Amino acid sequence: MPSDASAKPEPAPPRHVAIIMDGNGRWAKARHLPRVMGHRAGVAAVRTIVRAAQDLGIEYLTLYGFSSENWKRPVTEVNDLMGLLRFYIRDDLEELHKQGVEVRVIGAKSRLEGDIIDLIEHAQTRTRGNPKLKFVIAFNYGGQDEIVEAARRVAEDVQAGKLKADAVTREVFTSYLATAGIPDPDLVIRTSGERRLSNFLIWQTAYSEFVFTDTLWPDFNKVHLVAAVREFQGRDRRFGGLPAAAGGRT
């Protein structure tokens, strides 16, 4: 049968999805388990979502793994999280490479132990240029610190004569951020029912769409990701302009 020429094409998926992974502790508490078990279940969810993102044609996936504020947590929990990062990179790196995933880690290297820094650098070097999915891990990351660091570097370059002050545009400033070369997120998802950014990509999310879900991160799977993408596809992104449909609100 001939195709229906009037059928609307499938909306494109978001090019870049960023996720605030939240709820590991509550997941563990509900099961009377130690918090580290929730974090371990969260690593399994990471594997699931990395594969699902590829299946959906998402080009960039950024996950908020450890914030610069998370150092306030108990030492034992921080150590567990560091150990899980080591475990994930060591166990999953070759599989990610085979899948064509490029790994990039953003965030301050300060306070990270030397072996973790070495693992991060190895992961980035090993997967550099892989074409399937750009997988960004925000680890020891804080959005405000990122902006301050970018401003400091801009000031240094102006002082050194490498850059003129009146040449500092939004685009130029963006090139000094940790996410230089990465498009801004189209869609930000936060799990566990919380509805705030928590210092995550605060420059880059100026025009992102947000989806909040009550699902705890360890339970978040491809079905939930598809639902969030479908919600995104149904929205009218205006970027400060008028609605696409006539008669919409201004």
For residues 171 and 181, is the Cβ–Cβ distance under 8 A? no
Cβ-Cβ contacts under 8 Å for 128 (sequence gap 6 or more): 102
In 115-228, beta strands by DSSP E: 133-141, 187-190, 209-212
**Cα separation, 237 vs 231, whole angstroms:** 12
**Read out DSSP for 45-104?**
HHHHHHHHHHHTT-SEEEEEEEETTGGGS-HHHHHHHHHHHHHHHHHHHHHHHHTTEEEE
Amino acid at 165: A
| Active site residue ranges | 22, 70
